[in-house]
Structure 1
Amino acid sequence: MRSACETVYVQSGDVRLAAYVSGPANAPCIVLVHGYPDSARVWDALRAELDTRFRVIAYDVRGMGASEAPCERSGYALAQLARDLAAVADATCGTRPFHLLAHDWGSIQSWEAVTDPAFASRIISYTSISGPCLDHVFRKPRNVSQLLKSWYIAFFHLPLVPELVWRGGGAKLWPWWVRKTERVRVERDPFQLRNSLNGLHLYRANFRACARKPRERSTRVPVQFIVPRFDRYVTPAMSEDLDRWLGAYEREIIAAPHWAVVSEAPQIAARFMHFAARCASAQPLHPNESSLHTEVNP
């Protein structure tokens, strides 16, 4: 029997974040971080798969869902987003370490924490879906296919135009767009316009800074990449050739679109639980090797 979902409000810097907690209080913790232009509601199907065995925590990223928005664009910088994750984990997990699973922009921002030595003892495992580390992206050779898929990033940097599109009907039509292009049915989010407008600052506060001066960001946290083969926005190449920065990691390609967290929730839950179980028991991802790249097609 599934447990009820409790809303917890967490102060992080100058904003209050809305977090949603379910599952047994003494179960292993997993924190879910959503992408753009979503809110924590995007995790509902995955939560249903996990919260009989895990303490599941999802939160609305600052400026989205029921979370407060910062007054300045600088409030969306990656370092602050990492502090938000820490604040939510402290409030909901206490001192216990936790698993981390993130999608899209949630995955991009989570790399900031995963590659921060201050989090080394807190994060048991990291499952990344469709969201590369920006510092890794800008230190790798440019990929033409990814550049073509990333047209929307340049569009989001235009002054006023993206806001006009979202306000002019884009937010209202968003569920239709996902259904039409992804063949994924998403529930209408009452915060969709707010998510779409405030979330633009994620791009504007971070992409140029990382492009101008990409940093060396390494981690020894065990990483699992779940790579949707039919992703319209992020190519599989974004999770390749990362040995320079990662320790033990695995990479699995699944036959799914970008919003696989909705359409393939049972499959993603199963892959996460298998990976998390090995990481929690300190089993090596592969005997006699520090990293393993696997491509598994369902």
Structure 2
Amino acid sequence: MGESNNNAEAHDDTVFVRGDEVDLACHVCGPADAPVLVFVHGYPDNHRVWDRLVTELAAHYRCVRYDVRGAGESSRPTDTGAYTLDHLQADLQAVIDWASPNAPVHLIGHDWGSIQTWESVTDPAMAARIASYTSISGPCLDHVGHWLRSQWQADRSGLLKQMRKSWYILAFHMPLVPGLLWHSILGRRWHAIASRLEGQSLPENPSQTRDGADGIRLYRANILERLRHPRARHAQAPVQVITPQRDPFVGPGFVVGLERWVESLTVTPIDAAHWAIQTHPQTIAAHCREFVAGHTDKTRTATASPSRDERARSGA
């Protein structure tokens, strides 16, 4: 069973922020002087996937949701190379620096939004800009690469179980077919498919077909490279991993051994499926409030983070 959302819907202001050669649609609500929460959505969603959760949080936090490149109202580059993790990190950095130029923010990511946010959370150059990170249904690809190697040696049954959940990733690497499916069938049927997976009707997404078709580039630009050549990436901020126990796509096994990479780690299992942020907004909000409260330092300030080019020049 899901949770009802009884609060009045939060009023949004929409601002376009210049990212890494793209324009990012940012939707903002909540008190201007409150701690800043930045929400990064996954695939095949856009910022709207956060609506129910933000309604629970906007009374006490400055809530910033943005459409990642290739989704919603943001720019949609046609080159797959424009969707690599370094471009996505530069986009998130631009949003953080715009939303909170003088203080660190709390990041909350879901699905691919969680995957891409790990890139910033594990970058030492971003340490002063991030107060905490809540990850939901989206592990760090580098951590997954190391996890796969350890599972191959120690527990192949766990590896096979996750591979069965992730079959679609290989399908997304097929030429032409995934995009054609989105435009011919999946776009009009996705709402019914996702609602059936969750056991309740989810809100509809007006740009679902384009978000699904264009977002495939996220997988093609990053998955194979990172899994073949995983880096040693250590979190630079406290991390809460919320693990929906009925997620059909991301198994809870990815948290095994995560303390190797995250010094300050909180693992929070919940009885929910993949889109828990929509079906269980009150539960997620309660965990976010508790975690953020434990990692909010009102005296802490930060300067704007270095650009991607500056990080490259410094060797970061």
Per the TM superposition, whether the score is higher than 0.5 is yes
Structure 1 residue 59: Cα displacement: 0.3
- Measured against aligned partners, the alpha-carbon deviations of 1:96-135 in whole angstroms (never above 9, x if no partner) come to 2100001000000000000001110111110000000000
Unaligned 5+ segments in structure 1 are: 283-298
Unaligned 5+ segments in structure 2 are: 1-7, 152-158, 299-316
Structure 1 residue 48: Cα displacement: 0.3
Please give the secondary structure, in 2, of the residue aligned with 1:184.
coil
Question: Aligned residue for 1:247?
Answer: 263
Work out which of the residue numbers 275, 294, 300 in structure 2 matches 1:278. 294
- Measured against aligned partners, the alpha-carbon deviations of 1:129-177 in whole angstroms (never above 9, x if no partner) come to 0000000101122422111110010111111111121111211111100
Question: Is 1:257 aligned with 2:264?
Answer: no
The more displaced of 50-59 and 178-187 is 178-187
Question: Is 1:89 aligned with 2:105?
Answer: no
Q: Do the aligned partners of 1:123 and 1:221 also contact (CA within 8 Å) in 2?
A: yes
Kindly provide the amino acid, as one letter, of the partner of residue 230 in structure 2: P
Q: Root-mean-square deviation (CA), in Å?
A: 1.3
Kindly provide the amino acid, as one letter, of the partner of residue 70 in structure 1: P
Work out which of the residue numbers 273, 279, 284 in structure 2 matches 1:268. 284
Structure 1 residue 188: Cα displacement: 1.5
The more displaced of 184-193 and 122-131 is 184-193
Question: Aligned residue for 1:294?
Answer: none
Indicate how the Cα distance of structure 1 residues 42 and 168 shifts in structure 2: closer, same or farther if over 3 A, else same.
same
Question: Is 1:6 aligned with 2:19?
Answer: no
- Measured against aligned partners, the alpha-carbon deviations of 1:4-60 in whole angstroms (never above 9, x if no partner) come to 210010111221010000000000000000000000000000010000000000000
TM-score (norm 2): 0.87
In 1: Cα distance, 2:121 partner to 2:20 partner: 20
Q: Do the aligned partners of 1:184 and 1:262 also contact (CA within 8 Å) in 2?
A: no
Question: Is 1:184 aligned with 2:200?
Answer: yes
Question: Is 1:27 aligned with 2:43?
Answer: no
Instruction: Percent identity, please.
Output: 45
In 2: Cα distance, 1:281 partner to 1:14 partner: 33
Count of aligned pairs: 282
In 2: Cα distance, 1:154 partner to 1:271 partner: 33
Question: Aligned residue for 2:242?
Answer: 226
- Measured against aligned partners, the alpha-carbon deviations of 1:243-267 in whole angstroms (never above 9, x if no partner) come to 2111111101100000001000010
Q: Do the aligned partners of 2:10 and 2:55 also contact (CA within 8 Å) in 1?
A: no
Work out which of the residue numbers 186, 198, 220 in structure 2 matches 1:204. 220
Question: Aligned residue for 1:139?
Answer: 146
Structure 1 residue 186: Cα displacement: 1.7
Question: Aligned residue for 2:177?
Answer: 161
Question: Is 1:148 aligned with 2:155?
Answer: no
Work out which of the residue numbers 54, 59, 66 in structure 2 matches 1:59. 66
Please give the secondary structure, in 1, of the residue aligned with 2:133.
strand
Q: Do the aligned partners of 2:37 and 2:106 also contact (CA within 8 Å) in 1?
A: yes
The more displaced of 181-190 and 107-116 is 181-190
Q: Do the aligned partners of 1:2 and 1:52 also contact (CA within 8 Å) in 2?
A: no
Please give the secondary structure, in 1, of the residue aligned with 2:260.
coil
Q: Do the aligned partners of 2:124 and 2:236 also contact (CA within 8 Å) in 1?
A: no
Q: Do the aligned partners of 2:123 and 2:236 also contact (CA within 8 Å) in 1?
A: no
Alignment of 1:30-49 (within 5 A): 30-49=37-56
Work out which of the residue numbers 79, 84, 98 in structure 1 matches 2:105. 98
In 1: Cα distance, 2:238 partner to 2:261 partner: 12
Q: Do the aligned partners of 2:30 and 2:59 also contact (CA within 8 Å) in 1?
A: yes
The more displaced of 96-105 and 162-171 is 162-171
Question: Is 1:70 aligned with 2:86?
Answer: no
TM-score (norm 1): 0.92
- Measured against aligned partners, the alpha-carbon deviations of 1:62-102 in whole angstroms (never above 9, x if no partner) come to 01000001242111000110111110111122222100001
